Amino acid sequence: MVKLSIIIPVFNTGNFLNNCLNSILKQSFEDFEVICVDDGSTDNSLNILKSYENKDYRIKIFTQNNKGAGAARNLGLKHVNGEYILFADSDDWFEDNAFQLLYNQAKNLDTDLILFDSLEHKTDNISRERAYFNSNDFDFTNYIFDYHFRNNILVMNSFLFHGLNYIRRNFY
């Protein structure tokens, strides 16, 4: 068993995939597996994935006909061996210590869910902070999240540790 399983659905993101995988492989935290699900890509994405699989035993590739990111993540879930799950997109990248910080926080808090803000990088060096919660808006101490709490954010836009995304900003 590994500490972290990273599931990445991939569809025609060959231009971004190297940055994503390189940022994962250079993590200070090394006890993870990367489950890449090629969702019927027609660009060079599958070839890029295979080259990484040949370089690093932690990378595993699965393929399916194009069914969408959700179906690709579900296929990935069938193959996880991790204590925690991280859902990433194939155009995401991570700070070098992101996995260590997030894993430590999950263990220290004995929690299944960590939400945090991220940065979205756009063209022309424009970035936008994606802040989902203002910690002053709600006291999360001893709160149990369920499907109904901020459903549009928790389900649609945010990722969990049992699904993380991007880099660490603030823990809630």
Burial classification of residue 72, based on how many CB atoms lie within 10 Å of its CB (0-12 exposed, 13-18 middle, 19 or more buried) = buried
CATH fold of 2-115+143-157, please? Answer: Spore Coat Polysaccharide Biosynthesis Protein SpsA; Chain A (3.90.550)
Q: Is the Cβ–Cβ distance between 9 and 34 less than 8 Å? A: no
- For the cut 90, the answer to whether the pLDDT of residue 14 exceeds it is yes
Query: Per-residue pLDDT averaged across 70-88, rounded?
Result: 94
Name, in order, each residue with C-beta under 8 angstroms of 171's C-beta and a sequence gap of 6 or more: 105, 114, 115, 116
- For the cut 50, the answer to whether the pLDDT of residue 160 exceeds it is no
Amino acid in position 66: N
Helix spans in 26-116 (H): 45-55, 69-77, 98-109
Query: Per-residue pLDDT averaged across 133-160, rounded?
Result: 54
Q: Where is pLDDT greater, at 86 or 46? A: 46
pLDDT in tens, 15-65: 999 999 999 999 999 999 999 999 999 999 999 999 999 999 999 999 999
Q: What is the pLDDT of residue 159?
A: 39
Q: Is the Cβ–Cβ distance between 81 and 1 less than 8 Å? A: yes
Phi first, then psi, for residue 28 (nearest 5°) are -70, -30
Q: What is the pLDDT of residue 149?
A: 60
Q: Where is pLDDT greater, at 169 or 108? A: 108
Q: What is the pLDDT of residue 136?
A: 63
Q: Give the C-alpha separation, 88 to 6, whole Å.
A: 7
Q: What is the pLDDT of residue 21?
A: 97
pLDDT band at 143 (very low <50, low <70, confident <90, very high): low
Q: Where is pLDDT greater, at 161 or 91? A: 91
Annotate 109-172 with DSSP letters as a single string: HT-S-----EEEE-STT-EEEE----TTT---TT----TTTTHIIIIII---BSS--S------
pLDDT in tens, 104-142: 988 888 877 776 666 666 666 666 666 655 556 666 666
